[in-house]
Amino acid sequence: MEKFFLETEDNINIAVNHIKNNHKEVIILVHGWFMTKDSRAFSSLADDLSAYFDVISFDCRGHGKSSGFYTFTSKETIDLKTVVDYAKSFYEKIYLIGFSLGGALVLIHSALNKDVDKVIAVSAPSDFNKIENQMWKKEAWLPTLKKFEPERWFSIRPSLITREKIKPFEIIKDVEAPTLFIAGKKDPTVCPWHTEKLYNEALCTKKFELFDSIHAEDLYFDEPEKFVNTCVNWLKSPSHNLHNQTSEDISFPSHQ
């Protein structure tokens, strides 16, 4: 695995891990708030996916070994674009998978740039300002404690400046790449109705998978084989063989 830094257009140094196994396809992993490329979840997922694709993971600004401060999707779009531009020099096909706010980032990037082949959005919020984040519920704080990694937690540097954010539900109709939406039925942080809204509004070839779990990387932790197979099957299937799953086929928990 190669480790290096890429510099963004606004002079932020982005720390990158690049697993090269001579595949013609690459999948770029995009973490959310309070995670890093070197966290146990993303290190393990990168290893699992590297059997099928080359894998690039990176720390968004304000996380891990990257410089700067985290802006909750306002400027992390620049980070992702920098990594995608790097990948274009090496690969025939580029796939994105994002988790939580990283899920919002992959949708925003796909809508604005139209330069990736397929997208997977896991627990993506439709609107940052409507994230429930019910951290007082044991369903939220128990998994957080189980994932406690001191080095990761103390590397997080949030920006104290409030910036305008693109709302995924406002740009979802501009996403053209085939997109797999994944949500957790019991998610107390980004409730499944966010995915319902994004899925229903999307005009691209699309599919929805509802896991009997909670939030983002926890879907992978709880059912790693199912999660990896779901992602690989979506990415490896020829686009002309992908079929939309209609909202009538999906049973969502009610939005409260």
Domain ranges of the chain: 2-246
Residue written as token pair 């990387």: 217
Per the CB < 8 A criterion, the answer to whether 52 and 62 are in contact is no
Q: Output the pLDDT for position 147.
A: 60
**Residue 74, CA distances (Å) to 8, 127, 159, 175, 199 in order:** 14, 12, 10, 18, 22
**Residue among 175, 176, 191 nearest 125 (CA):** 191
Per CATH, the number for 2-246 is 3.40.50.1820
Rounded to an integer, the average pLDDT of 143-147 is: 56
Q: Using pLDDT thresholds of 50, 70 and 90, give the confidence band for residue 224.
A: very high
Residue 10 above 60 pLDDT? yes
More confident residue, 141 or 42: 42
Model confidence at 37: pLDDT above 50:
yes
Rounded to whole angstroms, the Cα distance separating 243 from 126 reads 23
Write down the pLDDT at residue 144: 55
Residue with tokens 């393990």: 44
Q: pLDDT value at position 143?
A: 56
Q: Looking at residues 223-236, what average pLDDT do you find?
A: 98
Q: What is the pLDDT of residue 87?
A: 99
At CA 65, angle to CA 59 and CA 68, rounded to 5?
80
How sure is the predictor about 240, in pLDDT bands with cuts at 50, 70 and 90? Answer: low
Distances (CA, A) of 252 to 43, 220, 256: 31, 20, 12
pLDDT averaged over every residue in the chain: 90
More confident residue, 131 or 95: 95
**pLDDT score of 226 more than 80:** yes
pLDDT grade, residue 151 (50/70/90)? confident
Which of 107-121, 193-207, 227-241 has the weakest average pLDDT? 227-241
| Residue 136, pLDDT score | 43
Residue 141 has pLDDT above 70, yes or no: no
Residue 189, pLDDT score: 86
pLDDT value of position 55: 99
